[in-house]
């Protein structure tokens, strides 16, 4: 085995990754308790290779190849070649596969990458980001409707992205066009995405608004959201509003929460979310409490507990195990360890 | 290309692997000779990334991602998400995907890993380990029966493993629970494994016993074995007993063999195995002779020749090409090269 | 993340790769314009790990694992286990998976590798190599016929290759046998390839002839070609003749072209190809013009424009989008960036 030395170098290639494994218990109204060895309760597991090259004159070239890893069974994640159908099977660089050129004018990024509106669902605007039983995705991802299962609430393939440069006094921005690459005819723009995110941050404050729209023959999909966070002593207070529209259906979610530093190593996380549904599913609420304990910069232990309550006749929303009872709930507990390299 | 420096470092990431390619001729009663370019005649080919981090106070975090590699065509191996069904397609970290925490109290390991009873089928207790025409797997792996094709004779997914620490005077041990993660109902424990291995070794002697049990709706699977090896001058004498039960079927194999150092670089390997079958297949014997010649610590040439004789009406057992004649035999010869990195 | 240091080391493992992304417009007779984010307009994208070990006495061991990467969606490429069927799904080391031993006598290479006759289709004998709208593959790859879709015009699995050593006064050579590894009976040699390439080069001149033959039950496939290049001031003049036979069908192509250094960083590429078809498809011509601008040794910008004209009733040949009109044409433009690591 050859060791990849730990020093950072200009022009170097980095092998990087993160693994997160937890023991999870789930229970929903009308079901029995189930136990899982689970990945990604705190942060998404990944394996990748990336690097940059300084071309002189402020210009840089870079690349990024990143694959999902399911630590419990060694499988990887799916991708989509047209932002419409899901393609899985073995390792793909489905988390990110990009080639970028950057300069004083910003960064041009080509390939598979996060869509602009995903930026507000991460730990910068939601205490739990998109992981575990407290995941923002449970309320802020779209509900499939009318034959449309959106593939672009997180990433898009065939994308051309532009990022504003640093040094604009806290202003940041991201615009993206991604092609569906369909054949001619009525569905020729199937899977085509356009999105933009604009935000501003300083030492303690961060706010951002974004919208991404994907054309689908079975119903266009629009993801909009606005997030804000404010560091108030040991607590980072967070608020997030998001809306997902597919055709005539709509879900709108509002979250308030915090990441609270309770010690040099420990952080408590809390989030409460209300979801309103129109023409699809029913209203629901999501409450989540978590704790992350750093063993080092690279390794942490964590625990999460959360519950989703479906309203009226709803059975749709859950933390991993769907209820079988109208208006039923779904809850889960997990304890795990996260390690990055 | 960026070189991964060859020095070992605390806290580093290692890119590692091994490739093994051989030319193989197989022949069975009733068939013609066939030729193959083959992988893994001496050792299993692999590619992986692994590393550890020292957390202080004796505590360490680590990870291991390892994929099978078929060097003749560049494909990888399968894994199983539920220890019941096989999942293939492209590269998976199906050989090992684990996250571990260790301390003076031992090691906790989460993810996809070897089951405890596999430890006795490796080169520590069988001259050929599980590779090539002399492979222990030919007689010591289970025979599918009653709808059950066991997936856990080597590895299990969704596993929680515990290893005894070093420094117990030669005592070593491994316990594992692995979940099948099935839905509710009668088959809810389908694919769930429990196993334990306990052994003792000193400079010249090594002995170990292990048992792993997997629940399957189509018939539970139990793998039990006891192995011992003793270094007697240039020869390591080895004996292995193993039993595989699936429902009411059973195969029991007994092996005697040796790894004999005939020069500073050369090792002769020999193994003779008798198998008794009940309610499935027929009795059989397996005889194998091999030679491994080290070119360096990382590279070796090798050759193996082996033959399996099926008894009575048996046609089941073979070294890669099944006989079509009742009581027929199956033989093979291979010469190859192995290289690790 | 652990950095893989950029210094080259004897005995080291190298993580290497190349990404190439472009924006492409295609148009064919009877179709509308279509736009794509595309990979590989200039050079084929790849990710790999490779290394060598010095065994002393001139003997070396080495390995090479290389996978295709589609940078627009993170998928990988297919391979073939028997040189007959295509196997895809996730990352495979389908570009190259070899284990090699080399010495003063040459190099022995085992695994999946380029066939000898592919050597003449690369940028050494064709201005565009096998990439982009100017790709040699558009005219020099076989046309499927009579149930045979050749899998060996580029690479073969299960191959045993031999390369002449350096230091033979410019003479070079490559011979290969690759097995199809089929079962007994009439189709037992299905997928078996034999090939040889022999050439000579000095500072300015390079010429080579090659032939590879693959047996298929549905019609044997023979690929033959002769290439030459000559450095004449700033221009490398190139000529290539190639023939693909499948059963009674045949396509023969003749190309003249150049790679012309117009500045220290810029190179213009031009190629004109005539194809004659017998018993399959129709005659066609292919004209391509390109420009490559080096930003560094590792990064380049490029642009290509090309057009294929089908003759008579032909609709078969195209640069990515097939014409729907008899005797129609197919054209494309692309601009991209390439970055290797």
pLDDT tens for B303-318 read 999 999 999 999 999 9
Residue A328 scores a pLDDT above 60: yes
- For C142, which DSSP code? P
Distance from CA of B147 to the nearest CA of A (A): 23
Residue B83 scores a pLDDT above 70: no
Tokens 């089908």 sit on residue: C310
Mean pLDDT of C258-267: 95
- Interface check for A154 against chain C (CB to CB < 8 A): the answer is no
* Contact: B65, A17; criterion CB under 8 Å: yes
Out of B3, B73, B299, closest to residue C7 by CB: B3
pLDDT score for B84:
63
* Contact: C37, A97; criterion CB under 8 Å: no
Residue B7 scores a pLDDT above 60: no
Residue C9 scores a pLDDT above 80: no
Q: Tally C-beta pairs within 8 A across A and B.
A: 168
A176 Cβ partners below 8 Å, 6+ apart?
A113, A115, A116, A156, A159, A160, A161, A162, A193, A194, A195, A196, A212
How does pLDDT run across A160-177, given as a tens digit for each residue? 999 999 999 999 999 999
**Residue B340 tokens, joined:** 């690790």
Which residues in chain A have their CB less than 8 angstroms from residue B4's CB? 2-5, 15
Comparing C144 with C29, which gets the higher pLDDT?
C144
Which residues in chain B have their CB less than 8 angstroms from residue C340's CB? 1
- Interface check for A179 against chain B (CB to CB < 8 A): the answer is no
Smallest CA-to-CA distance from A53 within C17, C266, C72, C12 is with C17
Mean pLDDT of A22-46: 77
Phi, psi torsion values for A65, nearest 5 degrees = -125, 120
Distance from CA of C129 to the nearest CA of A (A): 22
pLDDT score for B30:
77
Contacting A residues, span 11-30, partner chain B, CB-CB under 8 Å: 12-13, 15, 17, 19-21, 23
Which residues in chain C have their CB less than 8 angstroms from residue B6's CB? 9, 11-13
Out of C9, C92, C184, closest to residue B3 by CB: C9
How does pLDDT run across A62-100, given as a tens digit for each residue? 888 888 888 777 777 667 667 667 666 678 788 888 888
Side-chain half-sphere CA neighbours of A179 within 13 A:
19
Tokens 């109902």 sit on residue: B185
Mean pLDDT of A217-240: 96
Q: How many other β-carbons are positioned within 10 Å of the β-carbon of residue A217?
A: 17
pLDDT score for B126:
96
Contacting B residues, span 288-307, partner chain C, CB-CB under 8 Å: 295-296, 298-299
Q: Residue A1: pLDDT band by 50, 70, 90 thresholds? A: low
With pLDDT > 70 as the criterion, what percentage of chain B qualifies? Answer: 94
Chains that touch B (3 or more CB pairs under 8 A): A, C
Distance from CA of A158 to the nearest CA of B (A): 22
Out of B1, B17, B37, closest to residue C16 by CB: B1
Q: Distance between CA atoms of B299 and C53, rounded to whole angstroms?
A: 9
How does pLDDT run across B142-187, given as a tens digit for each residue? 999 999 989 899 988 888 999 999 999 999 999 999 988 887 777 8
Out of C1, C13, C17, closest to residue B4 by CB: C13
Distance from CA of B255 to the nearest CA of A (A): 32
Contacting B residues, span 78-107, partner chain A, CB-CB under 8 Å: 79-81, 87-99, 101
Strand, helix or coil for residue A278? strand
Mean pLDDT of C23-48: 78
Distance from CA of C53 to the nearest CA of A (A): 12
pLDDT score for A227:
98
Residue B283 scores a pLDDT above 90: yes
Low-confidence winner among A195-199, B20-24, B244-248, C117-121 (lowest mean pLDDT): B20-24
Residue C71 scores a pLDDT above 80: no
User: Under a CB-based contact definition with an 8 Å cutoff, are residues C300 and C292 in contact?
Assistant: yes
ipTM attached to this prediction: 0.83
Residue C10 scores a pLDDT above 70: no
CA A294 to chain centre: 22
* Contact: A65, C17; criterion CB under 8 Å: yes
Name the pairing type of β-strands C299-310 and C329-340.
antiparallel
Low-confidence winner among A91-95, C38-42, C61-65 (lowest mean pLDDT): C38-42
- Interface check for B339 against chain C (CB to CB < 8 A): the answer is yes
With pLDDT > 70 as the criterion, what percentage of chain A qualifies? Answer: 94
Which residues in chain B have their CB less than 8 angstroms from residue A5's CB? 4-5, 7, 9, 12
CATH number for the domain running over C21-340: 2.40.160.10
Burial group, residue A95, by CB count within 10 angstroms (0-12, 13-18, 19+): buried
pLDDT score for A187:
81
Residue A285 scores a pLDDT above 50: yes
Q: Which of A34-48, C238-252, C311-325 has the highest mean pLDDT?
A: C238-252
Q: How many other β-carbons are positioned within 10 Å of the β-carbon of residue C312?
A: 11
Residue B212 scores a pLDDT above 90: yes
* Contact: A51, C341; criterion CB under 8 Å: yes
Which residues in chain A have their CB less than 8 angstroms from residue C297's CB? none
Comparing A85 with B335, which gets the higher pLDDT?
B335
Q: Does domain A20-340 have CATH number 2.40.160.10?
A: yes
Distance from CA of B278 to the nearest CA of A (A): 33
Out of A4, A75, A339, closest to residue B87 by CB: A75
User: Under a CB-based contact definition with an 8 Å cutoff, are residues A4 and B12 in contact?
Assistant: yes
Range C176-191 burial, b when 16+ CB lie within 10 A, else e: bbbbbbbeeeeebebb
Residue C166 scores a pLDDT above 50: yes
Which residues in chain B have their CB less than 8 angstroms from residue C49's CB? 15, 17, 47, 341
Q: How many other β-carbons are positioned within 10 Å of the β-carbon of residue C212?
A: 25
Q: Does domain B19-340 have CATH number 2.120.10.90?
A: no
Q: Residue C1: pLDDT band by 50, 70, 90 thresholds? A: low
* Helices (runs of H) and strands (runs of E) counted in chain A: 1, 18
């Amino acid at each position: 085995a050859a060791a990849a030395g730990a020093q950072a170098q200009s022009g170097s290639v980095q092998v990087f990754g993160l693994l997160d494994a937890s023991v999870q218990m789930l229970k929903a109204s009308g079901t029995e308790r189930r136990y899982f060895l689970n990945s990604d309760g705190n942060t998404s597991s990944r394996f990748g290779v990336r690097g940059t090259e300084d071309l002189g004159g402020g210009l840089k070239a870079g690349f990024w190849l990143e694959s999902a890893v399911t630590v419990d069974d060694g499988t990887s994640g799916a991708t989509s070649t047209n932002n419409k159908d899901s393609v899985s099977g073995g390792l793909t660089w489905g988390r990110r596969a990009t080639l970028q050129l950057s300069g004083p004018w910003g960064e041009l990024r080509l390939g598979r990458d996060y869509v602009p509106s995903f930026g507000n669902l991460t730990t910068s605007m939601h205490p739990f980001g998109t992981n575990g039983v407290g995941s923002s995705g449970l309320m802020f991802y779209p509900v499939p409707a009318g034959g449309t299962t959106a593939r672009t609430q997180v990433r898009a393939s065939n994308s051309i992205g532009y990022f504003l440069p640093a040094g604009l006094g806290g202003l940041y921005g991201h615009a993206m066009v991604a092609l569906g690459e369909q054949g001619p005819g009525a569905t020729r723009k199937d899977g085509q995405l356009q999105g933009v995110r604009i935000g501003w941050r300083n030492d303690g404050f961060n706010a951002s608004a974004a919208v991404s729209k994907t054309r689908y023959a079975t119903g266009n999909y629009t993801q909009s959201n606005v997030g804000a966070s404010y560091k108030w002593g040991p607590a980072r207070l967070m608020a997030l509003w998001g809306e997902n529209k597919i055709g005539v259906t709509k879900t709108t979610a509002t979250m308030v929460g915090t990441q609270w530093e309770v010690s040099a190593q420990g952080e408590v996380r809390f989030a409460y979310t209300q979801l309103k549904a129109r023409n699809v599913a029913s209203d629901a609420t999501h409450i989540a409490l978590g704790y992350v304990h750093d063993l080092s910069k690279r390794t942490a232990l964590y625990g999460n507990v959360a519950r989703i309550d479906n309203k009226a006749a709803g059975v749709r929303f859950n933390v991993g195990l769907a209820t079988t009872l109208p208006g039923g709930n779904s809850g889960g507990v997990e304890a795990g360890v996260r390690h990055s390299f």
